[in-house]
Structure 1
Amino acid sequence: MSVSLYYTASRAKPLTDAEAADVARTVAARTSSFPYPDEESLYLYENGGGGPRDILAGSTKLPFDPGRALPVIAHVLDSVTELRRSLPDAEWRVHMDDLDVPWDAHAGYALPGMRDTDLAGGPGGV
């Protein structure tokens, strides 16, 4: 059984050309800094995700290795935080399967313990 992070931004008006370029820049930068080339990173669906108001949507399948899962979660949630900050007027939903990931205006998206070096340093950790 796999666990995934899902992220969706919705609003009535589509992305502007400038917003689409900003999203593309963010995705390219975050993808190039991803720590594990053999794991799934930030992935955006084509055409906004399918909902009539979706302007951006995607998912990331998390690794089975607990030592890799926390760094992947942190990297992807930091990426989604950047995307949200570039599209502040959208309605966002970020969740890990059935668990909503909370938004904090200062810290962005985060899960408790995701930056805990003791947890991330477990088997296969960074």
Structure 2
Amino acid sequence: MSVSLYYSARRTTPLTAVESAAVARIVAAHESSFPYRDQESLCLYSGDRTPPDEIVAGSTKMPLDLGRLLPVIVHVLDSVTELHRALPGATWHVHLDDLDVPWDESEGYALPGMCDADLAAELEGH
């Protein structure tokens, strides 16, 4: 059974040219720094797969390898946080299957314990 992280932003106004460039820059930076070339990472849907008021939407399938799980979650949520901050006035929904990922103005998107070094080391050992 697979688990995926889903992210979407809705707004009545479409992306501006500046916002589209910011999204492209964030996606490119994410891709160049993503640690696993054989793992799905930040994946934005093309325009024909999204409703008219969704300005950004995508998903990432989580790895089955527990040692990779936290690094992937952290990396993707950091990128989604950057996207959120680059697109003012949008209403975001970020969730790991049925679990909503909360937004925090100072921290961005994060799950409790996801940056815990001890937990990461324990998962990496499995």
Superposed pair shares fold, TM > 0.5: yes
Equivalent position of 1:36 in the other structure: 36
CA apart distance, 1:27: 0.5
CA distance in 2, matches of 1:70, 1:52: 33
* Separation in 2, partners of 1:48, 1:106: 33
Superposition map of 1:1-126 within 5 A? 1-47=1-47, 49-122=49-122, 124=124
| 1-structure distance, mates of 2:48, 2:60 | 15
- In the alignment, the residues of structure 2 paired with residue 13 and residue 70 of structure 1 have an alpha-carbon distance, to the nearest angstrom, of 34
Distance (whole Å) between structure 2 residues aligned to residue 123 and residue 114 of structure 1: 11
Change over 3 Å in CA distance of 1:49–1:7 after alignment to 2: farther
The residue type equivalent to 1:80 in the other structure is V
Distance 1:86 1:48 in 2: 22
SS at match of 1:93: strand
Letter in 2 for 1:84: H
What's the TM-score once normalised by structure 2's chain length?
Answer: 0.94
Q: Deviations over 1:103-125 (max 9, x none)?
A: 00000000011111112123546
Among the aligned pairs, what percent are the same residue?
66
What amino acid maps onto 1:102 in structure 2? P
Moved more, 45-54 or 116-125: 116-125
Deviations 1:47-69 (Å, cap 9, x if unpaired)?
Answer: 07422210000000000111110
> Any gaps of 5 or more consecutive residues in structure 1?
none
Where 1:13 maps in the other structure, the secondary structure is coil
Equivalent residue of 2:56, what SS?
strand
Q: SS of 2:21's equivalent?
A: helix
